[in-house]
Structure 1
Amino acid sequence: MLRPSFLSLLLACAVSLSSSAVFLENGMPILWTQTAGQLTDLPIQNGILTPDPWHFLHRMSLYRLMIAATDPFMGSMGTNATDSPLWGLPLQFGWMLTSGRLADPTGATTCGLQTGDTMCVSTQSWWSCVTYFVSVLPFLSAAKQGFMGAGVQVQMQIPEGVQDYCTTYASCAASYPDAMSKWDAFFQGLRAAADSPLPENEKKDSLLGLFWAAQMASTYASAACDSRQSHYSSTEVSFAKSWVNSAEYVSAAHFQSNLQKSSMFISPLPSRILRVDDSAPNIADLSSEENHTLYVFSWMNSVNNLLGGTLVHMWKSAMCSVNTREKGSEMLEQLLLDPTFATHTFLSIITGMTSSC
């Protein structure tokens, strides 16, 4: 039985009043110690594992179990226990909880609200719908590929009356074949890497390529969630689209989304749902870091739209080698984390990198 401690619950259920959303607890994802450390901590019915992805601790447990199962195959990522690129996913999910983005945006229920079930993940939330594709789908794939043990079968729980979510490997593979096949390729690649003769940096780059290909396939599949955007302000929807668009850049750079680097990127994300009158970089109750991030996200999306999608194309073209991808990751860090790094500098560097490919 997964039960959050009282202190952790207070941390998790409250929208942060500080300059950024709380998503870390003692250096780990929020409520991490309350999640399942082994499969048997999750519900099992008739020999089938039945997690409830609409309970925050259950969905967060999927990440913890995947990280533990794949860590023995992550040697090329580095020597730290938190170097796996999978760490970015639970950190992102924790930020969504404490910034209020997993709660019911329709007002029809108290799911996810402080006045209701704080651990409830709403089926109506666009954010929780999108992350379903990067939590449930990879977990089902990992189980299918034997990472959870031989012959483990999984059936996700789903609230009564909700029909537009797949719940088993077979149903997800039928509905989203590209996403599931790419997660399968990532987990198969992890095993194959153990015997690969490639140098460690090339092995790492190859695995990150497989990981991001799977993430992006899940992101494209999550277009199924788009109708849920109608529950939010136009400003929040614009940010959501920019947030999705930013994945094009980090994926092309094969960004190593380990715990340390992901924390730097998630820390300046907006600590509350945006209102219609919010206008970055001048949102009074958000920090300068949050305002800067929102401004950069908006700028990158606007420029890409003005250029007919060619900014993303230019960026992807520039990420043509292990070397340029490493430089690209560093440049993204500068753009998002250093307010003095001018956006026009970003454009000129991309142009130069593209011509060198």
Structure 2
Amino acid sequence: MGNHSVWSSLIILLSVFLCFFSTRSATVENYDYPYLWDQVPGSIEDLPVKDDQIIMDPWDYRDRLSMYKLMINHSAKYFTQFGINNTGNVFWALATFYGKLYVTGRCDNPSNDLVNNSPEKENFVLTKSGWSGISYYVAIPFFLSALKLNFFGPLPYQIELLPQEERRSDFCYSFDECNASYPQMMAIDLKIFEYLQSREKTSNNAENPTYNTDMETIIHYTWSGHQAGVDVGKPLFYDKSQFYSAGEKDFAESFLTTIEFLEAANYPSDFKNASDILLGFPHRRLTTGDWLIPGWDFDKYEKVLLTAVKLISGINSISGGAFLNIWKTIMMSETARKDAPVLIKIMFDFPEFIPLDIN
């Protein structure tokens, strides 16, 4: 496939996908916070202490969500000028996607395993789930990097992560352990916190001081860390983990490929834009048939997203990866990154492009 035809296909398909995000008119008040957000600790002082240690279980949905909440709350001062109530924070994309994975059943046990489905395991995140394993390497290295740099300030007690014996060798539970196995990923994850800690105040307002945070830079670091985690997690979990059906597995691969296009364009990862991305995320796991033709219970936004990611990843596969490489090359231009979403929004109106009443 020549460069011209690849680029033409790229413009058409990304137009549908990104226009789908950019045409949402809802305000942040219309979006939901991640499941149980208000019920998990958001400060170090609120974490439970036992035997002079703070133990956090990354395989408990609430504890992993709390790690995101800690990062979002403790970085809030750097995003004061980008949105009310910390909605401009770049970590929202990671937190909201994790919440979406959980409520759509993608962290669940696909079998009726009585141990994992017992009441005391209500918020259990399955180690065998491909989604859970990949998202582990998106979440945990960020949190461990923040701890390494004392981003949360002086700690009254040491924080330890509780390992799961199942598939123990596939996971790392401390900064040193992760750094020994995946030094490149940890170096990337450290950058975002090093950058934030290097910011200087531009306003000394006692209640809401502002810092010289460059949003373009911080979004880039966030997406780079996300992709580094995916690059580590996919080889470990994509082939030998459970995605519950061939259709769900294909969707996971296609969705993660499509996110790379957004990352290259430095798509904003704040609360509203993260919610826009996930508006059409399927409300349940896919069957193999759903991947061919979305089921009757999928709404129009889910059908658009499923169609878009299938087409984008399909063209990228046919082109041998040239599709994504051309996009990344073009997005190296600051002008292209700024203009792309605007041009896409003008070019297409997604309801007219895809028949939304199909089943």
TM-score tier after normalising by the smaller chain length: 0.7 to 0.9
Closer, same or farther in 2 for the Cα pair 1:230/1:28, shift >3 Å?
closer
Which one of 273, 283, 289 corresponds to residue 271 of structure 1? Answer: 283
* Alpha-carbon distance in structure 2 between the residues aligned to 1:275 and 1:84: 35
Closer, same or farther in 2 for the Cα pair 1:144/1:203, shift >3 Å?
same
User: Which residue does the alignment assign to 1:347?
Assistant: none
Deviation at 1:60, TM superposition (A): 0.6
Contact 2:138 2:226 in 1 (8 A): yes
Deviation at 1:245, TM superposition (A): 0.6
Amino acid at match of 1:89: L
Contact 2:134 2:237 in 1 (8 A): yes
Deviation at 1:50, TM superposition (A): 1.8
SS in 1 for 2:195: helix
* Alpha-carbon distance in structure 2 between the residues aligned to 1:338 and 1:42: 45
- Structure scoring higher RCO (CA < 8 A, sep ≥ 6) equals 2
Closer, same or farther in 2 for the Cα pair 1:195/1:185, shift >3 Å?
farther
Deviation at 1:133, TM superposition (A): 1.2
* Alpha-carbon distance in structure 2 between the residues aligned to 1:329 and 1:142: 32
User: Which residue does the alignment assign to 1:178?
Assistant: 184
User: Which residue does the alignment assign to 2:225?
Assistant: 214
Moved more, 281-290 or 321-330: 321-330
Deviation at 1:248, TM superposition (A): 1.0
* Alpha-carbon distance in structure 2 between the residues aligned to 1:244 and 1:335: 25
Contact 2:248 2:291 in 1 (8 A): no
> Any idea what the Cα deviations from partners look like across 1:206-230, whole Å, max 9, x if unmatched?
1211221111111101122224444
SS in 2 for 1:219: helix
Deviation at 1:278, TM superposition (A): 1.7
Closer, same or farther in 2 for the Cα pair 1:229/1:71, shift >3 Å?
same
1:69 partnered with 2:81: no
Q: Structure 1 regions of 5+ residues with no counterpart?
A: 1-23, 343-357
Which one of 128, 133, 140 corresponds to residue 136 of structure 1? Answer: 140
Deviation at 1:190, TM superposition (A): 1.4
**Number of residue-to-residue matches in the alignment:** 315
Aligned-CA RMSD value: 2.9
Contact 1:102 1:121 in 2 (8 A): yes
Q: Structure 2 regions of 5+ residues with no counterpart?
A: 1-28, 203-210, 355-359
Moved more, 218-227 or 121-130: 218-227
> Any idea what the Cα deviations from partners look like across 1:12-48, whole Å, max 9, x if unmatched?
xxxxxxxxxxxx9974222111010222333445544
Amino acid at match of 2:105: G
Identity of aligned residues (%): 26
* Alpha-carbon distance in structure 2 between the residues aligned to 1:264 and 1:46: 43
Closer, same or farther in 2 for the Cα pair 1:30/1:329, shift >3 Å?
farther
* Alpha-carbon distance in structure 2 between the residues aligned to 1:311 and 1:318: 11
Q: Deviating runs (4+, > 6 A) in structure 1?
A: 331-337
Deviation at 1:165, TM superposition (A): 1.2
Which one of 181, 186, 190 corresponds to residue 196 of structure 2? Answer: 190
> Any idea what the Cα deviations from partners look like across 1:249-279, whole Å, max 9, x if unmatched?
1111111111111111112111111112224
Instruction: Give the TM-score normalised by structure 1.
Output: 0.79
